[in-house]
Amino acid sequence: MQSLNEWPTYAQRNGDVPNALILGNGGASKAIRYALEQLQIPAVQFARRPSPGEKLFESFGEYLVDGSLIINCTPLGTYPNVSDAPPIHYELLNSSHLLFDLVYNPEKTEFLVRGLQRGAEGINGLQMLQYQADKSWEIWNSSSN
């Protein structure tokens, strides 16, 4: 979640911790959930086929509040299906919402485009990928190996 810490608007929220809505329940969502727990950011997870403790995408609107951080951990919107997006209530989004898409190609997924059209702020996962690469390089090239 280092990418999120460097996102100026998020960092300038004066310690106001939003709730997080995690879209998807694959491996990436588990890593995101763990990182959010470490940052003490409460989260609700949504999926097409939810596991125990997760919610259906259709119930997204019930959990959305101003200031929500919405993290797309699904592959929806990646090539070749770039017009796909998670099935959430985009009409409920506004300028108080922060969208973080783990997808980085295309640069602006349909998820981000729909949110930005409603006034939300958003970033893609490119910076997160760069941090992962840096950490991998550090691990593989440390003198303790």
The domain ranges of the chain are 2-140
Q: What is the 8-class DSSP label of residue 50?
A: P
Q: What is the pLDDT of residue 135?
A: 66
- Whether 122 contacts 72, CB under 8 Å: no
Q: What is the pLDDT of residue 102?
A: 92
Name the strands in the sheet holding 55-56, side by side, starting at the edge strand that comes first in the sequence.
55-56, 43-47, 20-23, 69-72, 98-101, 121-123
- Total-model pTM: 0.82
H or E element, residue 135: helix 126-140
Q: What is the pLDDT of residue 133?
A: 54
**23 three-class SS:** strand
Q: What is the pLDDT of residue 108?
A: 95
Please give the Cα distance from 87 to 28 (Å, whole number): 18
The residue to which tokens 């090239």 are assigned: 141
Q: What is the pLDDT of residue 57?
A: 94
pLDDT of the chain along its 145 residues, tens only?
555 555 445 544 545 556 899 999 999 999 999 988 887 788 999 999 999 999 999 999 999 988 889 999 999 999 899 999 999 999 999 998 999 999 988 999 999 999 999 999 999 875 765 655 566 777 788 866 5
Q: What is the pLDDT of residue 15?
A: 55
Residue 80 preceded by cis peptide, ω within 30 = yes
Asked: is 2-140 a CATH 3.20.20.80 domain? The reply is: no
Q: What is the 8-class DSSP label of residue 102?
A: S
Provide CB contacts within 8 A for 12, sequence distance 6+. none
Q: What is the pLDDT of residue 19?
A: 83
